[in-house]
Structure formats: structure tokens, C-alpha cells
Amino acid sequence: MATGNLASVVVAVDGSEESMSALRWALDNLRLRPDGELLVLHVQPPPNIAAGLNPAPIPFGGPSGVEVPAFTQAIEAHQRRITQAILDHALKICSDKNAEVKTEVVVGEPKEKICEVADNRKADLLVMGCRAIGPLKRMFLGSVSNYCINHVGCPVVVIKGT
């Protein structure tokens, strides 16, 4: 296998087929230096974001007896299972291509954390997928890839979904 001049590549995965396509693209098309590293990064949203809640107190109790800490713990446990499934899927793709990668999971707002990790690692390249959403949805929902293109300190390759 030919070697390249990339020392550090970060591939952001979120479990979507687009992000897994981006990982496959990186494995098929990029060549690292012999001492280079490909990092598969997953950003896990904080529990309040994952549950669609704001950090304000939630009035629980009553007949169900569910307390907020139990609710938060259940969400966190569910997120850990989802994160593990995403990493397992990504690592299977890497294994099928005989690629050695490192993985990292961080908690926070995905667009900000992806940029932070790429910058902290002094990545030569960030690779990510992008859902094919229309301009109206993108205007209201925002775009993680668009944010990263404009805020990260390295080149970004976006593998667009269909």
C-alpha cells in the first residue's frame, strides 16, 4: 500500500449512512504517513439535547414516581448503547478494509466538538458525511458540515448523500 503525507485525519461519524460512506471514502482514498493516524470521532449529544429537553427542571413525580435523576440515567444509558452500536458499525467497516484506526467519543454539541477535536489534534483533514437536505431545511435546521467548513482549521471533505 502506498503511503501519503497525511499525519492526522479525523472522520466524524453519527450513525447515518452518509457518515459511514464518508468513512469508507476516507479508507479507500486517503493515504497516511507510516506514523499517521485516522481517528473515527463520534460526538454524543448531552442528555438534555438527546431528549429534546432544555436544562430547566422537569416536573416529574405523581403516580409514575419517576424522578429526574432516574430519567437522566436512563437517557445516558440509552445513549451509551447507541454510541457503542455506531462505533461497532464503524469499526466493522474499518476491519473489512484491514484498516487500523483510533476511536474517540466526546459529549457536546456535534458541530462545535468536531471542530474542537480536529483543531486540538492538528488534523490535516476532516472527513464527514452530509445529508442531502434542501436549502429551506438547511436554513432552519443548520448544517453540521457547513459549520465545520467555516470554523475548523483544516481542509474538510464532505461526502454528500443522495
Please tell me the predicted confidence (pLDDT) of residue 1: 47
Q: Report domain extents, the chain.
A: 6-46+86-160
**CA–CA separation, 92 vs 159, rounded Å?**
20
Using only C-alpha atoms, the chain has a radius of gyration, in whole angstroms, of 18
Residue 61 predicted with pLDDT over 50: yes
pTM of the model: 0.83
- 67 falls in which pLDDT band (50, 70, 90)? low
Residue 137 predicted with pLDDT over 80: no
Segment 70-101, tens digit of pLDDT: 777 888 899 999 999 999 999 999 999 999 99
Which helix (H) or strand (E) segment holds residue 159: the answer is strand 156-160
Whether residue 13 contacts residue 105, with contact meaning beta carbons closer than 8 Å, is answered with no
Evaluate whether the domain defined by 6-46+86-160 bears CATH number 3.40.50.620.
yes
Mean pLDDT (whole number) for 20-40: 97
**CA–CA separation, 39 vs 91, rounded Å?**
11
Please tell me the predicted confidence (pLDDT) of residue 16: 95
> Side by side, which strands form the sheet with 32-44?
102-107, 32-44, 6-12, 125-130, 156-160
